[in-house]
Amino acid sequence: MLATQLNDVVTSNQLQKNSFIRLENFICNSISNRRYASSNSHFVMSRNYLSPIDSSSRRLVIVLGLEILPHGSYEKIGNPVNIEDSDAAPPPPQQQQQQQQQQQQQQHRQQQQQQQQQQQQQQQQQQQQQQQEFGNAPVQKSNSYGGWNARNNNSSSNVAQRSMSDLSANIFPIKSLNPYQNKWTIKARVTQKSEVRRWSNQRGEGRLFSVNLLDDSGEIKATIFTDQVDKFYDTLEEGKVYLITKARVTMARKQFSTLTNDYELTFETATEVTPCPDNDVPKIRYSFVPLGELVNIDKDANVDVIGIVTNDNGISSLVAKKTGKPLKKRDITIVDQSHYAVKLTLWDRHAETFESIIDSIIAFKGVRVSDFGGRSLSLSSGGTIVVDPDTPESHTLRGWYDTAGRTESFQTYSGFGDGSWDSSPDSNKRKTFAQVKDESLGMNEKPDYFVTKGTVIFFRQETISYPACKECKKKVIEEGTGWRCEKCQKTWPEPTHRYIMSISVSDPTGQVWMNAFDEVAEKLLGQTAGEMLMLRDNNDEKYRAVFADATFKSYTFKCRAKQEMYNDTNRVRYSIVSIEPIDYLKEGHELAELIEQYQKM
């Protein structure tokens, strides 16, 4: 069985029937006797490894990582049989010898365990005798000569250490957890802990809280309900590390989580939580996305961002439209080296506890991407805030801002795409996409502009627009019966929807992804953003037909190229400033001139 993270090797046809593979990471489940094994290294799977102690048990191999080896078109090799069916056949002599060695090793381990149990029983008997000798006398503090209390504490500590050692022997990485495992332990740090909340539905009501858990392989959310709330709420503390076992692994409900894991944990009556040292567990894990790349992120996706706070609008109050619940919110503005300024909204607890420190660096984990204002961010109670984090990204950002960024101007998603254009002669030169890349356009400190002839080959259709103010074109918020603009302090009965799209453009030499804003996108589709939203809600077939009709049409594009940092890698971002239909008469004259130039070379 393949883990969910490997589904793409099947859907992309990389893994085919009779393929050769090398398993790099897997878990072997024996369902009846609950025997599990895991490996993180390259290996050759043998029948010995999969053979169970009980021949009636079923074996299940869950593949977590694999390498597909180069192969041609091969047929089935030999006559393989199900391993359960082959148990009746006697193993070869070499395998018999290996089994005997394993049995001897197992017997030796059992003897050692029996000796340890006998020693433990003797120690317990001695402690009971000592307790009988002391009777009900109060326990005295240990002195410089050492007393019974010190000996008793040492014995208790040894028992605790043995218990922790037993748990540590079966530690699984978080990324390997799945619903098919029944016996596992994780060693994880609590990176976020929610408040206790009440829930109610048709099945009843109760309380719950959740924690985000982290180890060096990944993160997972754990939810604790009703009877377990009192048991674990005070035990689990943010920043501390625990050994956790006997929780239930279920499919993640992404609408309630800020993590990317496909699974989550639910604590049960048998769940065990044991504090442990935290030397080898990371404190937090980030995957920062530059603000300039938010246009390529799907709406409602969760991301991590880091930026400089340049504005704080303070706390404001509002009432949730659906629930009538009063809410607290705080809007701040952050900037980064991609030269974009983005509004980030903090809610409730984060809004109230946030300390306004202008020009400070703040890392936000688990913020949700919105199409508000073209692109904006929202941090709910499930996210985290770290001021001046000790990360390479933070140090780089501070150096840039103190030397140059403080005096620079920044773009916003709602204001860009209004036809800004460099009037220098080089900006009107015709370039192919191959020339754009060969000449490294966009790799300088200032953006480069160029003209190209290309064909639209694909539209990203998931998120195409945002509700905007009719005057300033900023995004508006739906409040009550109207839409309110924070900048203009006005409320509109209905918003004006404006495009913000990502399209793929191709020419004979290459292909690039470009951002298209309202005026450009309206020319491409022949429909306003509001009209397209009505089609999407009422007639999905016609909605997709508009994109189909607009595909594979050619235009003359005026474009902007600017280098930005993404995951420590420089990347050039392309945006369309304007488009024009192709003037074929003019194109013919220009082509004739090019032919003459080549003939003279």
SS (H, E, C) 144-202: CCCCHHHHHHHHHHHHHHHHHHHHHCCECCHHHCCCCCCCCEEEEEEEEECCCEEEEEC
Looking at the predicted structure, is the pLDDT value of residue 316 above 70? yes
Q: What is the pLDDT of residue 72?
A: 57
Whole-number average pLDDT of the chain: 78
Q: What is the pLDDT of residue 554?
A: 93
Tokens of 544: 């997709």
Strands 510-517, 569-581: pairing is: parallel
Which of 293, 236, 308 lies closest to 265 in space, CA to CA? Answer: 236
Q: Specify the pLDDT at position 92.
A: 60
Give the CA distances from residue 468 to residues 38, 425, 494, 530, in Å, rounded to whole numbers and listed in that order. 53, 35, 9, 11
Per the model's pLDDT, the better-predicted residue between 67 and 243 turns out to be 243
For residue 523, give both structure tokens.
């020319």
Q: What is the mean pLDDT of residues 507-528?
A: 91
Maximum mean pLDDT: which of 102-111, 129-138, 206-215, 586-595: 206-215
Res. 528 pLDDT band, cuts 50 70 90: very high
Distance CA 341, CA 375 (A): 10
Q: What's the topology of domain 425-596?
A: OB fold (Dihydrolipoamide Acetyltransferase, E2P) (2.40.50)
Query: pLDDT tens across 325-349, in order?
Result: 788 888 899 999 988 889 999 988 8
Q: Among 57-71, 242-256, 277-291, 567-581, whose mean pLDDT is lowest? A: 57-71
Answer with the residue of higher pLDDT: 61 or 126. Answer: 61
Q: Is the pLDDT of residue 2 over 70?
A: yes
Q: What H or E segment, with its residue span, contains residue 466?
A: strand 465-468
Asked if residue 580 has pLDDT above 70, the reply is yes
**Pick from 37, 327, 58, 365: nearest CA to 183:** 37
Ranking 69-73, 287-291, 410-414 by mean pLDDT, the lowest is 69-73
pLDDT higher at 597 or 476: 476
pLDDT greater at residue 363 or residue 325? 363
- The predicted pLDDT at position 217 comes to 85
**174-275: which CATH architecture?**
Beta Barrel (2.40)
Give the pLDDT of residue 159: 37
**Cα(347)–Cα(307) distance, rounded to whole angstroms?**
18
Would you state the pLDDT for residue 247? 93
Rounded to a whole number of angstroms, the CA Rg of the chain reads 32
Mean pLDDT (whole number) for 366-383: 81
pLDDT band at 213 (very low <50, low <70, confident <90, very high): very high
* Mean pLDDT calculated for residue range 39-65: 55
pLDDT at 158 over 90: no
- pLDDT value, residue 534: 92
Q: Provide the pLDDT confidence category of residue 362 given band limits of 50, 70 and 90.
A: very high
Which has the higher per-residue pLDDT, 98 or 511?
A: 511
- Top pLDDT among 423 and 346 is at 346
**Where exactly does CATH 2.40.50.140 map onto the chain?**
174-275, 291-407, 425-596
pTM of the prediction?
0.43
Q: Please tell me the predicted confidence (pLDDT) of residue 128.
A: 47
Record the tokens describing residue 374, joined without a space. Answer: 């073209």
Look up residue 584 and give its two tokens.
């074929």
The C-alpha atoms of residue 57 and residue 33 are separated, in whole angstroms, by 7
Q: Is the pLDDT of residue 272 over 60?
A: yes
Per-residue pLDDT band for 91 (boundaries 50, 70, 90) equals low
Decide if 344 contacts 331 (C-beta within 8 A). Answer: yes
Q: Which of 17-26, 300-309, 491-500 is the least confident region? A: 17-26
The pLDDT value given to residue 98: 62
> What does the pLDDT read at residue 130?
41
Residue 301: name the closest of 214, 371, 212 by CA: 371
The secondary element (H helix, E strand) that includes residue 96 is helix 93-134
- What is the model's pLDDT at position 31? 59
Q: How many CB atoms lie within 10 A of CB 109?
A: 10
Distances (CA, A) of 110 to 103, 113, 114, 162, 202: 10, 5, 6, 16, 52
Q: How confident is the model at residue 144, as a pLDDT?
A: 32
| 291-407 maps to CATH 3.40.50.10330 | no
Tens digits of per-residue pLDDT, 450-490?
889 999 999 998 889 989 888 878 888 888 788 888 877 88
User: Which 8-state DSSP code applies to residue 335?
Assistant: E
pLDDT of residue 290: 92
Band (160; pLDDT cuts 50, 70, 90): very low
pLDDT at 134: 38
Q: Could you read off the pLDDT of 398-411 as tens digits, one per residue?
A: 999 988 888 887 88
Q: If you average pLDDT over residues 232-243, what whole number do you get? A: 91
